[in-house]
Structure 1
Amino acid sequence: MEHGVTVIKGTEFDVFPLNLGGNTFGWTSNREQTFAVLDAFVAAGGNFVDTADSYSAWVEGNEGGESERELGAWIKERGADKLIIATKSGALEPVAGRSREATFKAVEGSLERLGVESIDIFYYHYDDEAVSIDEQVAIANDLIAQGKIKHLALSNYSAERLAEFFEKSVGTPAQPVALQPHYNLVSRKDYEENVQPLAEKHGVAVFPYFALAAGLLTGKYTSKEDISGKARAGQLDRYASDEAFAVVTELRAVADELGVAPTTVALAWLVAHGVTAPIASVSKVEQLKDLMAVKDVELSAEQLARLDKVSEPFA
C-alpha cells in the first residue's frame, strides 16, 4: 500500500495510522454519505477500515450486516485493492459465540455481504468461554487454510485467555496479528496493566475502540450539562466525571498550542503510547480531517507528560 506507514507484523499490510470505524455505515450514514466518506478517506491516504457483522443490529429495524453491505457496495464500485478490511463476529444472532459452526457461518455471511473472496483481518469479537482456546485456535487455522480469512485478531478477551491464546497458537497461522482493546485517555487501567504487556511481548498491532471515548475527547463537552440531551448522552455518561472533564480541558490546551483539534491530540496520545492505529468513525466527510491529521502530529515530551498526569485517575 503506497500510503501505508505502519507495518502490521506477521502480515503483508502497511496501514495508515487511523483505522476508520465502519459502525456508522448503514446507520448514521446512508449509502451516499458512506461512499463520500470512504472516497475522502482513501483520497487522504487512508487504507484500513474496521467493521463487524453485528453493525448495526442495535438500530430498530436493522438485523446486523448493514455496515458490511454498504462497504461491499463501495468495494464493488471502487475495487477491493483500495482497502484493507477487518471485520468481526461473535455477537450477532444466530451466529453468536465461538463454536465451529457459528464461526464458519458468520465468516460466510461476512464474505457474501462484503463481496470479497477472503477477509484480510478477521477478529474474534468476543471470547466464548464455553469453547476451549485449543478449539478456537483450530477453527482459525482451518479458516485460514481454506482461504476464507488471511489473518486472525482478537477483541474483548481477558488477559488470562489472551495469554493462553498466544501460547497455544504460536508458530501457527492462527497466531493473532492484532488486538482491539478499549483504550483512551479516560480508560487506561485495564489495557495498560493487563493487555499492553501481552501486546508488547508478542509484537502485535493494537487498534483500540472508543479511542475518542464516545465523543468526549473531541473536546466539545466540558461539563455534564453539555452532554444532557445529546444523541450520544447514554454512551457519554459512562465517561462523564470531574476528572474526565479535567482531561478535556488539558486536551483543548494542548490542541490550541499545536493549532489542531482536540480530537487529533487524543488520537496522537494513543499513537505515542504504542497504538498502531486508533479506530474512529465519522458520519460526514468534513469530520475526517481531524482524524487524518494524526499522521502529522507529534506531541512533545512535555505535552505528553501533562496529558499522562491529568489522566492518571484513569490509569
Structure 2
Amino acid sequence: MKKIEIQHTDLQIAPLNFGGNVFGWTLDEPQSFEILDQFVGAGFNFIDTADTYSWWVNGIGGQSEEIIGKWLKSRGNRQDMVIATKVGSETQEHGYDISKKHILKSADDSLRRLGVDHIDLYYTHFDDKVTPVEETLSAYDELIKAGKVRYIAASNLSPTRLIESFDAAEKNGLPKYVALQPHYNLVERSGFEADYAPLVEKYGLSVFPYWSLAAGFLTGKYRTEADFDNTTRGGGIKKYFDNKGKAVLKALDSIADKHGVQQATVALAWLLAKPLITAPIVSATSASQLETLFAAPTLKLDTEDIQLLNEVSK
C-alpha cells in the first residue's frame, strides 16, 4: 500500500490510523491481537493510543498500551510500525496535566507498558490550560534528546494555545508539533474548518481526525430514535439525529449504493478526499467492520458525490 510521509518527519504511514481505545475495553487481549493482525495484514502500520486508555474500565488506564506492547513483542514487528500515544488526559487519579514533571514520568510509564525504547509520535492529549507552553515543550525537548520520543503532536489544544506553542518553539529553539488530531467528520465540520484548518496550512501539519465516523453515527446503523437506546454510545450521538444528520445519512445511503460499498466507507473516503487530511483515526471490533474501513482509501468519490456530501453536511 502506498505510504504517506507525516510532514516534518521521516515517518511513513498508510492512510488509516487505528484507534486503540477499544483495546482492554470492548476487546480483550486475544481479540485485540486478532484485530491488529488483520489491520497490519491489510498493509496498514499506524496505531494510535493514549496512556489513559481505557481509564473508564479501572479509573487509571494503561490497558491499551499494555496490549499493544505485548502484541509488538509477540509479532517482532516494532520496526515496521508507527506508534502514537498521548499524555495529559484526566483520570480518577489526576486531572489534566501537561507539566514537565507529569510528562516525563508519563512518557517512561508509556514506554514501559508499550515495551519499546521510543515513541514515534507523542501527543499533548488535553490542555490543563495553566502550564506554560514553554514548560510543556521543554519536557518534550528533553524526551527527544534522550531518544525516548521522535516527534510531538497536539490534540484538544485551543487555537490560541497552539499558536502560543509554535511561537514559543520558534523563539526558544524548542520542538514543534508536526501533527494535529482534531474532532472532524461529516457532522462535525465547523470547529476544524473555521478554527484549525488555517493553522494546519500555516504550520504544515499532518491531520489525523478522531471520531471520523462520529462514534458510529456515520455507519448508518442508527435509523430510529429507539436505535440510540440500544448502545452504550447512543446517548452521546443522538444529537446528530436532526435534519442535517438525517440528510447526511440519506446522502451516504445514495452514494454507498452507487459505488456498492458501506456508508462508513463513503464517510471516510470523504475525509480522505480533503487536501488537509492525512489519515483518519478508525476503530473496529470485528473483521467485517475492518473490511468496511479498508475499502475507504481505494474509493474515489467523484465531484458529484463530494458536492452532495459538502452540501448536506454544512
**TM-score category, normalised to shorter length:** over 0.9
Cα deviation code 1:18-52 (max 9, x no counterpart): 10010101111111111111111011001000000
2:308 corresponds to 1:310: no
Query: Counterpart amino acid of 1:311?
Result: S
Cα deviation code 1:59-110 (max 9, x no counterpart): 2x45300000000010111121231100001114348401111111111110
Aligned position for 2:130: 130
Matched position secondary structure for 2:22: coil
Instruction: Tell me how far apart the structure 2 counterparts of residues 107 and 240 of structure 1 sit (CA, whole Å).
Output: 40
- C-alpha RMSD of matched pairs (Å): 1.5
Aligned position for 2:29: 31
Instruction: Tell me how far apart the structure 2 counterparts of residues 62 and 132 of structure 1 sit (CA, whole Å).
Output: 27
Instruction: Tell me how far apart the structure 1 counterparts of residues 174 and 4 of structure 2 sit (CA, whole Å).
Output: 21
Instruction: Tell me how far apart the structure 1 counterparts of residues 236 and 15 of structure 2 sit (CA, whole Å).
Output: 25
Q: Could you say if the C-alpha distance between residues 238 and 55 of structure 1 is closer, same or farther in structure 2, counting changes exceeding 3 Å?
A: farther
Instruction: Tell me how far apart the structure 2 counterparts of residues 168 and 4 of structure 1 sit (CA, whole Å).
Output: 35
Give the TM-score normalised by structure 1: 0.94
Aligned position for 2:66: 69
Aligned position for 1:229: 230
Matched position secondary structure for 1:108: helix
Aligned position for 2:293: 291
Shift of 1:5: 2.0
| Segment of structure 1 superposing worse, 217-226 or 106-115 | 217-226
Aligned position for 1:213: 214
Instruction: Tell me how far apart the structure 2 counterparts of residues 95 and 108 of structure 1 sit (CA, whole Å).
Output: 19
Q: Could you say if the C-alpha distance between residues 156 and 270 of structure 1 is closer, same or farther in structure 2, counting changes exceeding 3 Å?
A: same
Matched position secondary structure for 1:184: coil
Matched position secondary structure for 2:26: coil
Counterpart mapping for 1:145-294 below 5 A: 145-170=145-170, 172=173, 174-273=175-274, 274-294=276-296
Matched position secondary structure for 2:111: helix
Matched position secondary structure for 2:177: coil
Cα deviation code 1:207-249 (max 9, x no counterpart): 0111000100011112323222223212222433221121111
Instruction: Tell me how far apart the structure 2 counterparts of residues 286 and 82 of structure 1 sit (CA, whole Å).
Output: 25
Shift of 1:130: 1.0
Shift of 1:143: 1.3
Contact 1:86 1:119 in 2 (8 A): yes
2:10 corresponds to 1:7: no
Contact 2:184 2:192 in 1 (8 A): yes
Aligned position for 2:20: 22
Q: Identical aligned pairs, as a percentage?
A: 44
Aligned position for 1:98: 98
Contact 2:4 2:15 in 1 (8 A): yes
Query: Counterpart amino acid of 1:309?
Result: E
Matched position secondary structure for 1:142: helix
Instruction: Tell me how far apart the structure 2 counterparts of residues 136 and 69 of structure 1 sit (CA, whole Å).
Output: 25
Instruction: Tell me how far apart the structure 2 counterparts of residues 311 and 289 of structure 1 sit (CA, whole Å).
Output: 25
Query: Counterpart amino acid of 1:294?
Result: A
Contact 2:137 2:174 in 1 (8 A): no
Query: Counterpart amino acid of 2:106?
Result: A
Aligned position for 2:51: 53
Contact 1:57 1:64 in 2 (8 A): yes
Query: Counterpart amino acid of 1:24?
Result: V
Matched position secondary structure for 1:154: strand
Matched position secondary structure for 2:55: coil
| Segment of structure 1 superposing worse, 166-175 or 143-152 | 166-175
| Structure 1 unaligned spans of 5+ | none
Give the TM-score normalised by structure 2: 0.94
Instruction: Tell me how far apart the structure 1 counterparts of residues 226 and 94 of structure 2 sit (CA, whole Å).
Output: 40
Query: Counterpart amino acid of 1:310?
Result: V
| Segment of structure 1 superposing worse, 220-229 or 70-79 | 220-229
Q: Could you say if the C-alpha distance between residues 94 and 226 of structure 1 is closer, same or farther in structure 2, counting changes exceeding 3 Å?
A: closer
Shift of 1:115: 0.2
Contact 2:123 2:154 in 1 (8 A): yes
Instruction: Tell me how far apart the structure 2 counterparts of residues 72 and 95 of structure 1 sit (CA, whole Å).
Output: 25
